[in-house]
Amino acid sequence: MPVMQENTAAARWPSLPYRRWKDTRDTLHLWMQIVGKVKLKLSPFLNQWWEVAFEVTPHGMTTGRIPYREMAFAVDFDFLAHHLAITTSAGGREQISLAPRSVAAFYREFLSALSALGIDVAITPTPSEIAHPIPFAEDSEHASYDRRYATRWWQIQLHSTFLLDRFRTDFRGKSSPVQFFWGSFDLNTTRFSGQRLPDRTDWPPGYHFMRYAESEENFACGFWPGDERFPHAAFYTYLYPVPAGNETISAGSAFACFNRQLGEWLLPYAQVRRAEHPEEEILRFLETTYREYARLAGWDLAALTGLVPAPT
């Protein structure tokens, strides 16, 4: 008989202290960038780079279908069995264990597994959106993998997808799927007002992709495990372009705070997971900040709000 997981708030929202899992977080971020860059290289462009994102699955994370010549393949991270699997439409399969190893070793092993399946692809060999990047083939510094925290991080994202899916239901405008971006290492969904923005080409070095990511007025939200700028996991929201008065809006939660360095409203995960009703607290944060941001930016809320059908 399978072991049933405990369905309590504490079980659904396990602790994820940044310092305790930082080394695993940083290594996993780089491993996923290697895989993500393969998807970027082979997939046709879709607005706001949606084609590069991963999807959360019942066991981990998947690239979804990637085209390659006359076939397709997918790369799946399993954070319960702790392995990475590459499967092809031709019936091929290669598997790599998820265990402590350097980024350089993972890079070699992953490309070798692709080659064994007849997949030959050259990617940009350095990380993106990371301070002081080390080329993948030379990175022996990042080599950690703690199964407990990898599983916890995935589990938080899985339960976050349930809430983000609910948050999306009554928006009738253009909105992204709930997706994971391996560059910034965050779970995200974005909704758009329909307002196209002037073309901007003056992004800082390493961030020129933002020319296409931020080409339309949008409200973005999701879950982020933190980095050295804010060493705490958090739910986040922001609107681009930034409207005047965004730092003083209501956020719907006493736990929420505005972070000026990031330019975002944050709901610290460590606090909200201990709330009496974490799911309600998170949804209230998302809904309140969206409506406040949209009001500041002059969005037509009535036109962008749809009807949710009753269950049948």
Spatial separation of the C-alpha atoms in residues 94 and 162, rounded to whole Å: 30
Separation of alpha carbons 20 and 233, rounded Å: 12
Output the pLDDT for position 5: 54
- Closest Cα partner for 31 from 185, 188, 179? 185
SS3 73: strand
Q: What is the pLDDT of residue 259?
A: 97
Please give the mean pLDDT across all residues of the chain.
Answer: 95
Across 92-105, average pLDDT: 98
Q: What percent of the chain has pLDDT over 90?
A: 92
Residue-level pLDDT at 2: 43
Q: What confidence tier does 310 reach under pLDDT thresholds 50, 70, 90?
A: confident
Cross-strand bridge partners of residue 207: none
Residue 4: pLDDT above 90? no
Give the residue carrying structure tokens 């036109």.
303
Sheet holding 186-196, edge to edge: 179-181, 186-196, 216-224, 234-240, 264-268, 257-259
Distance CA 260, CA 252 (A): 18
Assess whether pLDDT exceeds 80 at residue 7. Answer: no
Per-residue pLDDT band at 1 (split at 50, 70, 90): very low
pLDDT tens digits for range 10-35? 889 999 999 999 999 999 999 999 99
* φ, ψ of residue 160 in degrees (nearest 5): -65, -35
Instruction: Please report which helix (H) or strand (E) contains residue 118, including its range.
Output: none
| Digit-coded pLDDT (tens) for 156-196 | 999 999 999 999 999 999 999 999 999 999 999 999 999 99
Region 75-81: mean pLDDT is 98
Which residues, including other chains, have CB under 8 Å from residue 78's CB and lie 6 or more apart?
59, 60, 84, 85, 98
Residue 140: the pLDDT is: 98
Instruction: Check pLDDT > 60 for residue 138.
Output: yes
Q: Is the pTM of this model over 0.85?
A: yes
Tens of pLDDT, residue by residue over 189-246, are 999 999 999 999 999 988 889 998 999 999 999 999 999 999 999 999 999 999 999 9
Gap between the Cα atoms of 159 and 153, Å rounded? 10
DSSP string of 180-221?
EETTTTEEEEEEEEEEE------PPTT-TTHHHHTSEEEEEE
Residue 292's H or E segment, with its range, is: helix 278-297
Q: What is the pLDDT of residue 305?
A: 93
Mean pLDDT of 7-12: 81
pLDDT of residue 9: 81
pLDDT of residue 6: 60
- Tell me the average pLDDT across 255-260: 97
Return the pLDDT at 309: 81
Q: Which of 139, 135, 216, 220 is nearest to 184 (CA)?
A: 220
Q: Bigger pLDDT: 122 or 311?
A: 122
Query: Tell me: the pLDDT tens digits for 280-290?
Result: 999 999 999 99
Residues in the chain, overall count? 312
